[in-house]
Structure 1
Amino acid sequence: MPIEPASVSPSVSCGACGEPTTGEDARCEACGRRPAGVEHAEDVLESPEAGTAALIVLGAGVTDRGHRRRRNEDAFDLVRVATDAGDVVVAVVCDGVASVPGGATASRAACDVAVAAGREALAGGQDLDEAAAATADAARRAVAALAPGAGQAPACTYVAAVLDTERAVVSWVGDSRAYWLCPATPEDSAVLTEDDSWAAEMVAAGVVGAQDALSDPRAHVITRWLAADAPDVVARHRSWVLDDTGVLLLCSDGVWNHLPDPAVLAAALPSASTPTDADGVHAGALALVDAALDDGGHDNATAVLLTVGPAPGT
């Protein structure tokens, strides 16, 4: 159920198949993929046809260029996959590294390939953990293949979730984050990932305190990323039990730099209860991106929200 974003020029070509991208939702009409660098885009995960399941995963994503960047180098994607054990959702958020050329291409390629790899792994009978590993490895290889030569390697960060109605496996490289947000009790919200950044590593090593590390000019320098020249790019993973008390958030640093505290993020959601339909999840993702833009919008901002809700007809 794509939501119409800002218009995209008909002359834009799909980076995957080369065909013109003329769809109203900025996706390629030939292969279904979205081009890199779309200034604003929104997607809502389509609900499956009515079946026997009482619960399904709901999801929505929003990305925006922000107020200060010349282009949007963030990307996201999410897809529902039918398996013998029930539906599974794969969701990915990537943030292009601005200090090297090709960040938008890297983030778009990583999302497209990761989602395709997750779908294939799940269709082949792999479990959530195996599918999460497959998505991360596919994204790594796709971005590494983009390097045209020495010193010209496009790069991006990566955070993804593979989830059913009971459990999520989150994987990440870089400083895009995953959060568990509890709208009814914001104080119970938590960060699920650990940043691959100078500040996080200095704090973990006990070199400096958190406040001093975050105030250092090097605080947000990332230490791991996806690229041909990236060091140690095996994604880290964490498993999380899902229930109906909260929502899983994947976001780029353009969101959490403005709202880093999990409780503040949860309080920024438009309702004090967990959304139970697709419209509510979409409104939540839009509210978090809008909150980052209202706070200055210094960077590209992307948020994907995922939660467990009632299946259609139940």
Structure 2
Amino acid sequence: MSQTHQLATCPSCEEPLDEGDRFCGACGYDLSSEPSVPDDRPTLTMAAPGAAEEAAAVDWPDAPELDSSDTPAPTHLPADLVGTESDGAALPAAVRTDDPADGDFPLAAPDPRTVPPEELESATPPAGTKLCVACRAGQVDADGYCENCGHAQPRERDHMEQELGAVAAVSDRGLRHHRNEDAFAISSAALPDGSPAVVAVVCDGVSSATRPDDASLAASRAANEALHDSLPRGTHPQQAMHEAIVAAAESVNALAQEPETAREHQPHQNAPACTFVGSIITRELLIVGWVGDSRAYWVPDDRTAPAARLTEDDSWAAQMVAAGLMNEAEAYADERAHAITGWLGADAYELEPHTASFKPDRPGVVVVCTDGLWNYAEGAHDMARIVPADAALRPLHCAQVLVGHALDGGGHDNVTVAVLPFPVPQQGAGSA
């Protein structure tokens, strides 16, 4: 079994640790995987004189000859369970073949073939109980940790994918954050004349605020519901987008009044907040709406035609450029570049929904994303370069490729991408 750690902070998230901790309380990192402090003594035992000769003189049986021609090549399997938050560390001792006498952790759930029925009944958790993905025996508490081995459980939002006809979206926690604070919603609807429309909304929780993950989720759902109600009634798509942003803002504002926010609120934190970007695609129109620094890009199928960014950031860098105080390269190289000046939340200065309507003269795709992607493809030409050529035909594949690009680039932030082909194909009509 591993020694008790001697670390002051978690190697994964740098959370302060208490002496004797087996797992990080913030991210669930398995501290037993960290090497213990070596003793000041040799690690090799020297053999006595003549021992090698004696060993060589032993008449060892010949090893059997094996025919390996039909043996498949070994396949490397990761030590970590897919979706967990231990960042590739070894699994907890509860699922390793260590001596159970060295600790209090069972190696596995009771075997029904060897346990008396009355004991098995008492050991079997009630139906619907969530069991640990690591030890398969402990129950998961309300905070998402195993009560038996302490392993952090995978969160539902760590990686999400959805495809709905002519629109698709992918969201990932990234490689540095302990949770995913992004959220998205996609849907399709039939306009009053029977023509189709598709919708995508992407929100990025403000990490310095209280409950940023709840803020992004509430905003994306509220906006999607508002659009799904207003578009079939004949509301102009640009007006519908404006109303959807207002509905999203109201949903985030309401979080600030909930008791849960009051319990989690710290003096240095702000009310729940998030950014917003959304798009509506019809047969003729391309609508975008935004607040904050999440973006929408236009990428034509004909890559000889120019791509374009359809949104302008509500950020310190954008203000410097607009005021003529810096060029874009200088502004976005500044450490203050990503300080946002507009967001959804009860402490926002003033809600200013931005909307724009376009009539593209050729087919293409709209990429709606958080800064977790565009940090790795900031310019419109950069975004066009990484969008697959068949994006309009395979929007989910395109979103997966773009998220992969961000992860390959370092994955420093949560990353969420929605892809909408223009014009929306006939099969895009329907209900979410």
- Give 5+ residue unaligned stretches, structure 1: 12-35, 47-57
In structure 2, what is the equivalent of residue 60 of structure 1? 168
In structure 2, what is the equivalent of residue 38 of structure 1? 157
In structure 2, what is the equivalent of residue 101 of structure 1? 210
Structure 2: distance between partners of 1:306 and 1:94: 16
For the residue of structure 1 that corresponds to 2:344, the secondary structure is coil
In structure 2, what is the equivalent of residue 248 of structure 1? 366
CA contact (8 A) 2:209 2:270 kept: yes
The counterpart of 2:184, out of the listed 51, 76, 92, is 76
CA contact (8 A) 1:186 1:266 kept: no
Distance verdict in 2 for CA 1:109–1:290, change over 3 Å: same
Give RMSD over aligned pairs.
2.3
Distance verdict in 2 for CA 1:76–1:109, change over 3 Å: same
CA contact (8 A) 1:165 1:242 kept: no
Structure 1: distance between partners of 2:426 and 2:329: 44
For the residue of structure 1 that corresponds to 2:378, the secondary structure is coil
In structure 1, what is the equivalent of residue 72 of structure 2? none
1:165 equivalenced with 2:283 (yes/no)? yes
1:199 equivalenced with 2:317 (yes/no)? yes
TM-score (norm 1): 0.80
In structure 2, what is the equivalent of residue 174 of structure 1? 292
Matches within 5 A, 1:98-247: 98-147=207-256, 148=261, 152-185=270-303, 188-242=306-360, 244-247=362-365
For the residue of structure 2 that corresponds to 1:120, the secondary structure is helix
Structure 1: which 4+ aligned runs deviate by more than 2 Å?
148-152, 242-245, 273-276, 308-312
1:311 equivalenced with 2:429 (yes/no)? no
Larger Rg: 2
- Listed one character per residue, the Cα deviations across residues 54-73 of structure 1 (whole Å, up to 9, x for unaligned) are xxxx1110000000011000
CA contact (8 A) 1:247 1:274 kept: yes
Amino acid at match of 2:402: L
- Listed one character per residue, the Cα deviations across residues 141-195 of structure 1 (whole Å, up to 9, x for unaligned) are 1001111458641100000112212112111000000000124316610100000
Higher relative contact order (CA 8 A, sep 6+): 1
- Give 5+ residue unaligned stretches, structure 2: 1-81, 85-127, 131-154, 428-432
CA contact (8 A) 1:121 1:130 kept: no
What is the aligned residue count? Answer: 269
Structure 1: distance between partners of 2:425 and 2:313: 33
Structure 1: distance between partners of 2:325 and 2:340: 17
TM-score (norm 2): 0.59
Q: CA deviation at 1:274?
A: 5.1
Structure 2: distance between partners of 1:88 and 1:45: 12
The counterpart of 2:395, out of the listed 250, 259, 281, is 281
Q: Percent of aligned pairs with the same residue?
A: 41
Distance verdict in 2 for CA 1:201–1:10, change over 3 Å: farther
Q: CA deviation at 1:231?
A: 1.1
Structure 2: distance between partners of 1:310 and 1:227: 36
CA contact (8 A) 2:172 2:403 kept: yes
